[in-house]
Amino acid sequence: MTDFATLYRNRFGFEAPDLDGIPADLSALAPLLARGSQRRFRDEPVSEGLLAALLACAQSAPTKSNLQQYSIVVLSDPETRKRFLERIVPQVRWAATAPLLLVFLGDVRRGRRIAAHRGYEHRNDNVDTFMNAAVDAALAMQCFIAAAEAVGLGCCPLSVVRNHLDALADLLALPPGVFPIAGLAAGWPEGAAEVSLRLPPEIVVHRDRYDDGGLEAAVESYDDRVFAARPIPPEKQRHVDRYGVAERGVWSENVARQLSLPERPEFRDWLRRQELNLK
């Protein structure tokens, strides 16, 4: 069992604080501290029994007011998988090797239908309902990931599914009130996943009130650690066609470039066409 100091150093790139109360038995925490997204899979199926257990774990996630405003589509038909890979995630070539492909959806439709079934008017078509459904779906996906990785599978979310909204809606027959959060690839890992360095807790975790006064200096130090461990190569740098190849492939440069151009600006209009009110 790897000790906490090593796990912490691998995750953040610096030594762990000397604190009391860290569990001696890290069997439950170590897999989370050491996890990474898996993009290489063995040619080995995941049994229907195991999939059913993992989906039950997903449905065990917390959910706002027990409304359970999410759905999960498992892509099991070979032709559907083929169309998903070719039309929805064509740039994610490694996804074709994953035995499991799923799409997690926010689902406001179910609540509308249940209200009508019980003879009530559904009066919560607003941005709060959209957010609740999105969070419900994300929590369900994370519970699926945690369960899958606990039994030895590897996982990687696919936000890119929102790049082709109309094609995805057509492929999955999404009715009004249902919208995609993310896809998920899962399977038996081929090799270990890489552990990505994360931002230092000092700028993510706040005590009593929000304070980002030390942001710039902390990000510069983080960039140095990322660059020393795993510089971002030119082929993974954002918008090279517009900004050129960065002299130093660091996190903040990539993030700033990515956020400098609108991503999926059509999403809001698509949601409206799906009869989702964002007011």
CATH 3.40.109.10 holds for 48-193: yes
Question: What CA–CA distance (Å, rounded) separates 209 from 212?
Answer: 10
- The rounded Cα 213 to chain-centroid distance in angstroms is 28
Per the structure block, which two tokens stand in for 16? 């762990």
DSSP 245-272: --SS--HHHHHHHHHTS-SSTTHHHHHH
Asked whether the beta carbons of 272 and 170 are under 8 A apart, the reply is: no
Write down the residue that tokens 């929590």 correspond to. 139
The one-letter code for the residue type at 19 is L
CA distances from 266 to 29, 97, 165 (A): 40, 30, 9
**Full-model pTM:** 0.95
Write down the residue that tokens 């270990």 correspond to. 192
The neighbour count for residue 157, using CB atoms within 10 Å, is 19
3 state SS of 167: helix
* Cα R_g (the chain), whole angstroms: 21
Tens digit of pLDDT for each residue in 29-53? Answer: 999 999 999 999 999 999 999 999 9
Q: Give the pairing type, strands 70-74 and 100-107.
A: antiparallel
Write down the residue that tokens 């099991």 correspond to. 76
How is the chain split into domains, by residue range? 1-34, 48-193, 197-263
Contacts of 261 (CB under 8 A, 6+ apart): 239, 242
Q: What is the mean pLDDT of the chain?
A: 96
Question: What's phi and psi for 242, nearest 5 deg?
Answer: -100, -40
User: Which residue stretches of the chain have pLDDT < 70?
Assistant: 1
Strand partners, 74: 102
Question: What CA–CA distance (Å, rounded) separates 104 from 266?
Answer: 20
Tens digit of pLDDT for each residue in 189-221? Answer: 999 999 999 999 999 999 999 999 999 999 999
Q: In this predicted structure, what is the pLDDT of residue 1?
A: 59
Q: For 32-163, where are the E strands, in sequence order?
A: 70-74, 100-107, 154-158
DSSP 24-68: S--TTTHHHHT------B-S----HHHHHHHHHHHTTS--GGG--
